[in-house]
Structure 1
């Protein structure tokens, strides 16, 4: 499945949004969402306040790109698997690769995600951002799975798989965030994702073929 190429302007925009997201996550972790202002986030990211509001409606919205980055990588890796292989295994392999930190930046992003998911328990606006990220991830996963599934696959089953797989990743991250487990090994996001995806595979005919 060919991925559309992004322009330099789009890449710069995405980089700025991620910088703002990291600044917001850092401040949220240090002092909590309630005590953090959009002005502080903009200053920490090194952008003007008007730039912040050009991209985000609220301070909670600002962490969306960070929360979405893992799902973006998961779908990219999954799309590279190609049609005709073991779809259940491809889902697991892509999940492990995207949830296993390859460097310090990825490790830090996972730890920020843990902090944000913990903070979301007491912040409805932040929790809403997390749910929106997962809804959008499901929508973007559907065409990837449609491309990978056999031509005769039932569209309803493919849609159900997109929903179930997205929720499997969500549950694995939320479960991990509620513990003190590391980012690798037992209890890690990758280990939990494999467990959740195997449960999904056991209940869907599309993955049992």
Structure 2
């Protein structure tokens, strides 16, 4: 494993237009989640979601292709927070504890608004059990989260992510490093996904024993405990 971190450049701050677009998308996502959780996806129309969000139907379709797609920003929000916390991890922190601490913090509920958002996610995951299109959005969000996590994990591990293993253009150790980083990113993403799905099947609260934060930390500890030595 190389000790040289992969080079990275700071991401440009989003423009005012981009921030407004993201805020509108999240408002639509919350509206969709509320309706899906109370009525179910089958009984909810895109027009009703648009009305709940206070926008025109044509605006809804400017952002989303289908009513199920509309919940993507809400599901992505937690993954983005987790990745952001990992990016700000103190250099030298062992990877296992870094992943667990970031997951616990990302899934914490410091206020009523955060708790409400988490409970909406539970309603979505329950609704997804009977709606293949909604379930596909959940899996897509997790896949995208895993891919975005790869460079963050590489930086934390001090590994330069080179070409795919077996490529003739890169040294064998870079290929091996890329394999290890991708395995960690996949395992960590799935650990949090399983924690969320497990919680959604229970009546546990948004905090305390059995909460998403508690379950995610336990899943990561069991799965990635050996990374404390990395």
- Following superposition, the deviation at residue 147 of structure 1 comes to 1.5
Question: Which residue pairs with 2:200 in the alignment?
Answer: 177
CA RMSD after TM alignment = 1.5
Instruction: Give the conservation status (yes or no) of the 8 Å contact 2:97–2:228.
Output: no
Structure label with greater radius of gyration? 2
Match of 2:211 among 156, 165, 188: 188
Match of 1:126 among 131, 134, 139: 134
Which aligned pairs between 1:105-124 and structure 2 lie closer than 5 A?
A: 105-124=113-132
Question: Which residue pairs with 2:39 in the alignment?
Answer: 31
Question: Which residue pairs with 2:223 in the alignment?
Answer: 200
Counting matched residue pairs gives 207
- Following superposition, the deviation at residue 12 of structure 1 comes to 0.5
Counterparts of 2:24 and 2:113 in 1: how far apart (Å)? 16
Counterparts of 1:151 and 1:74 in 2: how far apart (Å)? 20
Counterparts of 1:136 and 1:188 in 2: how far apart (Å)? 24
Could you list the structure 1 runs, at least 4 aligned residues long, displaced by more than 6 angstroms after superposition: none
Instruction: Give the conservation status (yes or no) of the 8 Å contact 1:82–1:148.
Output: no
User: 2:54 aligned with 1:54, yes or no?
Assistant: no
- Following superposition, the deviation at residue 84 of structure 1 comes to 2.1
User: 2:199 aligned with 1:160, yes or no?
Assistant: no
Instruction: Give the conservation status (yes or no) of the 8 Å contact 1:67–1:113.
Output: yes
- Following superposition, the deviation at residue 29 of structure 1 comes to 1.5
Structure 2 portions without partners, runs of 5+: 1-7, 161-173
User: 2:19 aligned with 1:11, yes or no?
Assistant: yes
Name which structure has the greater RCO, CA cutoff 8 Å, separation 6+: 2
Instruction: Give the conservation status (yes or no) of the 8 Å contact 2:29–2:71.
Output: yes
Instruction: Give the conservation status (yes or no) of the 8 Å contact 1:25–1:116.
Output: yes
- Following superposition, the deviation at residue 194 of structure 1 comes to 0.8
SS in 2 for 1:144: helix
Instruction: Give the conservation status (yes or no) of the 8 Å contact 1:83–1:147.
Output: no
